[in-house]
Amino acid sequence: MAQGTGTATTRMVDGFTRDELHALLFDMILYRRFEEKAEEAYAIGKIGGFCHLHIGQEALAAGSIKPLREDDLVITAYREHTQAIAKGISPGAVMAELYGRADGCSGGRGGSMHLFDTTVGFWGGHGIVGGQIPLGAGLAWAIKYRGGDQICVCFMGDAAVNQGAFLEALNMSAIWHLPVIYVVENNGYGMGTAFSRVSATEMEARSGACGIPAHTVNGQDVVATHRFFAELAERVRAGAGPQFVNAVTYRFRGHSMSDPVSGTYRSKEEVDSAVEAQDPIKILRDRLMDTGLLTQEELETLDAEARAAIEGAAEFADASPLPDPSTLYDHVYAEINEHGRLFLDGRGSQGGSHG
């Protein structure tokens, strides 16, 4: 169907129906409201530790993960709340994890940086910069070993490409032709260090040494990102081998909760102009309104639904119990051997005469 023809409900933009576009807009608003709620909960001490928000980068979560199949695998770093939701973990289970509660997706053992639910293909949530990259290669290795047709999408920040693990994993993925897409969420900074200060070449050049094709996508444009990943995922599924994607984005908040939005390493003007011109929600909203695919009333309804869902998630987290203290030693080992002691602190199961 030609773009811009037909009624508002059947008309398509860039191959997307109105309903699909509304769904993408809703997802991004949901992620934004989730992160705002987390910010609020952090401020009053309901969330502790390190907490990294994805505000400004929501189009990437929706655009790269929504096109995947449920049985495709996603593995990522620690700025992953919205990615977890995009892959299918309920906002309540994510919020409960941030709150350190028993109903959290990692039972309260992982926290913000270690969200997992492998039943929906979300493989964490890793806190060592670059550590998830070889693991992602391994997930892809297992797919290939078993002859499956899933793919693995492995996310990382721009700073992670400077780790040796990046080069090692990409090289092995290339020689073994693994079904994996490496996605750099290039928000320009690793904490306070601009990528240009720690890389002599552009991002696109970083996979070339391993012979892995590099692509760049505007990560603020959810429609372009979705279309791009839908197509790339099918190519990898069909055997195209590993791919490298430089997804250009921008972080609207500080690195973590203790870092001000702007300051020593980036100016207020820089952030303000990005928030003004690069907000992925505004970009899609304006586009839909300009083409008559979204009314102010519809937008308000979507936002109200998102807010209600996040309020529900927060209520779920609040109501969830703390992890049972008697489980402290659970899941250190999958197999408690019949013989010998695994714990020598006198406390754990098998922990000695007192345990």
Partner 1 sequence: MAELTYREALNAAMCQEMDRDDSVFLMGEEVAEYDGAYKVSRGMLERYGDRRVVDSPISELGFTGLCVGAAMAGLRPICEFMTFNFSILALDQVINSAAKMLYMTNGQVPVPIVFRGPTGAALQLSAQHSQACETYYVHSPGVKLVTPATPADAKGLLAAAIRDDDPVAVMEGELLYNVRGEVPDGEHVIPLGVADRKRAGNDVSIVTHGKMVHVALQAAATLAREEIEADVLDLRSIRPLDVDAILESVARTNRVVYLEEGWPFAGVGAQIVALIQDEAFDELDAPVVRVTQADVPMPYAKNLEQLAKPSVKAVVDACKRVLYL
Q: Using the 8-state DSSP alphabet, how is residue 117 labeled? A: B
The answer to whether residue 169 forms part of the interface with partner 1 (CB under 8 A) is: yes
Tokens of 273: 């102009």
Residue nearest to Mg ion (CB): 157
Q: Is the dihedral of CA 31, 37, 38, 43 positive or negative?
A: positive
> Nearest to residue 253, comparing CAs of 115, 60, 51?
51
Q: Which of 255, 266, 285, 287 binds ligand TPP (CB under 6 A)?
A: 255
CA distance 246 to 225: 11
Nearer to partner 1 by Cβ, of 41 and 210: the residue is 210
Inter-CA distances, 215 with 183, 219, 278, 300, Å: 9, 12, 20, 35
116 binds, among ligand TPP, partner 1, Mg ion, none (CB under 5 to 8 A by kind): partner 1
Among residues 133, 160, 271, 313, which is the contact residue for partner 1, using CB under 8 A? 133
3-state secondary structure of 299: helix
Q: Name beta bridge partners: 246.
A: 184, 216
Each residue 136-165 as x (binds Mg ion by CB under 5 A) or -, in order, gives ---------------------xx-------
Kindly state whether residue 109 participates in binding partner 1, applying the rule CB under 8 A: yes
Binding string, 68-87, against partner 1, x = CB under 8 A?
-----x-x------------
Residue nearer to partner 1 on the CB measure, 56 or 110: 110
Query: Does residue 187 touch Mg ion according to CB under 5 A?
Result: yes
CB crowding 151-171: b at 16 or more within 10 Å, else e? bbbbbbbbbbbbbebbbebbb
Spatial distance between the Cα atoms of 300 and 335, rounded to a whole number of angstroms: 52
CA torsion sign, 312 to 317 to 321 to 327? positive
Interface pattern 164-193 for ligand TPP (x via CB under 6 A): ---------------------x-x-xxx--
Which parts of this chain interact with partner 1 (CB under 8 A)?
73, 75, 106-110, 114, 116-118, 123-128, 131, 133-143, 145, 164-165, 167-169, 171-172, 175, 330-335, 337-344, 346, 350, 352-353
Which parts of this chain interact with ligand TPP (CB under 6 A)?
79, 127-129, 157-160, 185, 187, 189-191, 255
